[in-house]
Structure 1
Amino acid sequence: MIISIGVIITVLIVVIVLFINLSPEFGGKATDEQKAFYKTSENYKDDRFVNKHKVKLDMSLRDMGKSLVGYFSPQPKTIPKEELPVSKIDSTNIAEYNDKTRLIWFGHSTFLVQIDHKNILIDPMFGDVPAPHPMLGSKRFSKELPIEIEKIPKIDAVLISHDHYDHLDYGSIKKLKNKVKMFYTPLGVGVHLQKWGLEKERIIELDWWQDISLEGLRFICTPAQHFSGRGLTDRTKTLWSSWIIKSDNENIFFSGDSGYDDHFKEIGEKFGPFDFAMIECGQYNELWPDVHMFPEETAQAGLDIRARKIMPIHWGAFKLAMHSWTDPIERVTKTAKELNIDIIVPKIGESIFLKENDSIDTTVNDKWWQTLE
């Protein structure tokens, strides 16, 4: 019996090691030359990227056990009883669009932004499961997307906030790479894109507070409080960030994943006010309060960055925590009303026009999610 158990454990270890080393999902590793360049960043210390303030990333064995038990055991309402509604859009509509700035939410943190006659994708995760293998994660809450990835027309730029699976998806990048002109990432994330066949010339990596222009648009890489990693040994080996998209007439903020801290106020002071802000609101837990915001903090972050209108994101697609799937949106809308913050909560695929829908009541009172509990 002991020998049999030993053989089984050995086989499992071998399978796991082979999977991690052979599967392209895990991405690439930085060269010595790239690491030497990272050392010029104030955010890189002892061969790893760091947050502005000390952040607890390692859970105790007890907390890790609680987390695993909570995740894999049945929890009330963590997944909707039925498919989430999705508004469809066709490729012609996207390709021929030539009007005011429009955003389309794909659920979670993925967006198509059409601004100044350009198409921009943010954190393009179009896969069914945010994990290196379908058996290692929960499925998307909707079977369909607003448009299938194969039908997406030419994309001018892709912005990536960090390398976690629910934001950087191998399958999506492989299907998108020949449609995209340029990819913009925080420092280090480009190693994954190169591993997946992208030319170095089409990848631009930025440090916090650095910016780059693309035909009149300005992309600014701004801080977040989070971490990174796709495997067992690469935690914090690449940087994480938020992003600003700035045109002559509009100023848009995307939080990426982040715990609440004073970087939001700093961003607001340097680059605010913002016409529209997409701010993380979901996948939180008292076990990891430093790296994901609670909904009340999401609303406060909107005030900190001086946003005229906020949209809660990082919810409505996947189960990555133990709270009910509607808890984020119920709590953030309540707090936004108390703080007098203008908030919109579109269905997946609905078009968002920045200069319209200024009334807080119209969108919030719709509460489309309540019919799906």
Structure 2
Amino acid sequence: MNNSIELRTVKKYLKKVLVTIVFLIAALVIAYLLFVNFYPSFGGNVSKELQKQYAKSPNYRDGKFVNIKDVPKDLSFGETVKLAYKFFTTKVPEGRPKQDLKVIKLDSSDVASFKNNTRLIWYGHSAFLLQIESKNILIDPMFGKVAAPHPLLGGDRFNKEIPLEIEKLPRIEAVLISHDHYDHLDYESIGKLKDKVAMFYTPLGVGVHLEKWGIKKERIVELDWWQEAKLDGLLFACTPAQHFSGRKFGNEQSTLWSSWVIVSSKESIFFSGDSGYGSHFKTIGEKYGPFDFAMMECGQYNAMWPDIHMFPEETAQAGKDVNAKVVMPIHWSGFKLALHSWRDPIERVVKKGAELGIPIATPKIGEVIKPSDSLQTYEVWWK
């Protein structure tokens, strides 16, 4: 009798526990769906109508954009959890600078009145202001504090200050965006910029986020790989990269990723975006090189994801592949998004560049870069 009562008691307890677990899971799912659908930083979704248009692209297969090589492989749920656990629990010596990185501040009147030879200003990570042929161009203008959909979901950038705040920037003729990840496409930055910018140039699909954030369709030019657009005397070519895309679960690879070529009457500049090492670099160099200056991804790498980010030695080789006179390592010195020390990228790429005989540009954040000056020198400031 007592055993029967105890069994019924245990069953009731287990039933309550099960109901509680189901309720908690349901609550978490509902909270996530509400967060994703109503919090604006997640951006827009590619419609079925757009999917039909993108299906004409040679880079689109089975409802998703793909790389030239069949990478990266899709991770199972267990593999994803294991990877996330290792990332968030591994302590990385010198994963971040001990102090905020010092930034060279720009004079807003100087920037607004600049009409001389081409110059670049690095904002850290992969963000640039390019002043070329009396035009102001921003490349991957992620000026936000955290590379995540919400401030609580990521670590602060390495530099609290930026060279020149968005509010002090002059009119921007063009913004080039390489892909839709949070460390390259930032909701708050775009919101502050949108009334200053004439045109946005993106790979296929990325425009859905901009439209969601209030930018009119006629101000957005979407391009597939190897397509070109002209802005007065400038040529913008959307070129391949080996990466992936997505801002939330369920829309992975729904938008394209790219590198960019910028050609003026005097210079040819290459911006790699995010990319693993591949044959596309040599193809780009053969079609558009040689380049006076190449900004090449060099950071956030790991043996667990070798196909989507380059190791520093590959960065130097990729610079040689595209036939660049000078290579600048980017995608480092901004955010901790991998498990290497913050200095590791620059130290290794400088060493490999010397071995290959390729000049490596290492400007400070905010320092003026002259792309056509292959003799420009820089300090070893990261020490």
TM-score for the superposition, normalised by structure 1: 0.95
Distance in 2 (CA, whole Å) between partners of 1:133 and 1:188 is 22
> Which letter maps to 2:52?
A
Work out whether 1:369 is the aligned partner of 2:382.
Answer: yes
The aligned residue for residue 280 of structure 1 is: 297
Q: Residue 318 of structure 1 aligns with which residue? A: 335
Assess, with a 3 A threshold, how the Cα gap between structure 1 residues 108 and 37 changes in structure 2: closer, same or farther. same
Aligned to 2:3: none
Question: Offset of 1:71 from its aligned partner?
Answer: 2.2
Q: 2:48 aligned with 1:35, yes or no?
A: no
Q: Which moved more, 1:86-95 or 1:229-238?
A: 86-95
Q: Does 1:88 align with 2:105?
A: yes
Residues 158 and 184, structure 1, Cα contact 8 Å, conserved in 2: yes
CA distance in 1, matches of 2:128, 2:39: 27
Match of 1:56 among 72, 91, 94: 72
> Which digits, 9 at most, give the CA deviation of each residue in 1:93-119, with x for residues without a partner?
111001110000000000000000000
Name the counterpart of 2:12: none
Q: Distance in 1 between matches of 2:76 and 2:349?
A: 29
Query: In the TM superposition, what is the alpha-carbon distance from 1:37 to its structure 2 partner?
Result: 1.3
Contact 2:243 2:275 in 1 (8 A): yes
Determine helix, strand or coil for the equivalent of 2:137. strand
| Paired amino acid for 2:40 | P
Residue 324 of structure 2 aligns to a residue whose secondary structure is coil
**C-alpha separation in 2, matches of 1:83 and 1:225:** 31
Match of 1:173 in 2: 190
Q: Which residue of 2 aligns with 1:106?
A: 123
Closer/same/farther in 2, CA of residues 7 and 66 from structure 1, 3 Å limit: closer
Aligned pair in 2 of structure 1 residues 15, 185: CA closer, same or farther (>3 Å)? same
- 2:250 matches 1:237: no
Distance apart, 1:17 and its partner CA: 1.4
- What is the CA distance between 1:34 and its match in structure 2? 1.6
Give, in whole Å, the separation in 1 of the partners of 2:277 and 2:209. 27
Structure 1 residue 336, shift from structure 2 partner: 0.4
1:368 aligned partner, one-letter code: W
Q: Report Cα offsets for 1:5-47 as digits up to 9, x if no partner.
A: 4433332222111101111111111223222211111111111
The Cα shift of 1:64 comes to 3.4
Letter in 1 for 2:382: W
| CA offsets 1:109-133 (integer angstroms, 9 cap, x no match) | 0000000000000001011001111
Which residue is equivalent to 1:305? 322
Q: Is the 8 A contact 2:191 2:213 kept in 1?
A: yes
Distance 2:252 2:77 in 1: 18
SS at match of 2:126: coil
5+ residue gaps, structure 2, are 1-15
Change in 2 beyond 3 A, CA 1:16/1:61: closer
Q: Distance in 2 between matches of 1:102 and 1:122?
A: 13
1:170 Cα deviation from its structure 2 partner: 0.6
Determine the structure 1 residue equivalent to 2:150: 133
> Would the aligned equivalents of 2:229 and 2:237 in 1 still touch at CA under 8 Å?
yes
User: 3-state SS of the aligned residue for 1:368?
Assistant: coil
User: Paired residue for 1:213?
Assistant: 230
Using the alignment, how far apart are the partners of 1:29 and 1:66 within structure 2?
28
TM-aligned CA deviation for residue 66 of structure 1: 4.6
For 1:188 and 1:348, the matched residues in 2 are separated by 31
* Contact 1:57-1:288 within 8 A present in 2 as well: no
Aligned to 1:228: 245
Equivalent residue in structure 1 for 2:369, among 335, 352, 356: 352
Query: Where does the alignment leave 5 or more consecutive residues of structure 1 unmatched?
Result: none
Partner of 2:11: none
The whole-number CA distance in structure 1 between the counterparts of 2:75 and 2:63 is: 21
Partner SS state of residue 31, structure 2: helix
The change in CA–CA distance for 1:312 and 1:118 in structure 2 (over 3 A counts) is: same
Distance (whole Å) between structure 1 residues aligned to residue 208 and residue 66 of structure 2? 18
Give the secondary structure class of the aligned counterpart of 1:166: coil
Aligned alpha-carbon RMSD (Å)? 1.4
Q: State the match for 1:21 in structure 2.
A: 37
After TM superposition, list the pairs within 5 Å mapping 1:119-158 onto structure 2: 119-158=136-175
Deviation at 1:215, TM superposition (A): 0.7
Number of positions where the alignment pairs a residue of Structure 1 with one of Structure 2: 366
* 2:7 match: none
The counterpart of 1:9, out of the listed 25, 30, 48, is 25
2:160 aligned with 1:160: no
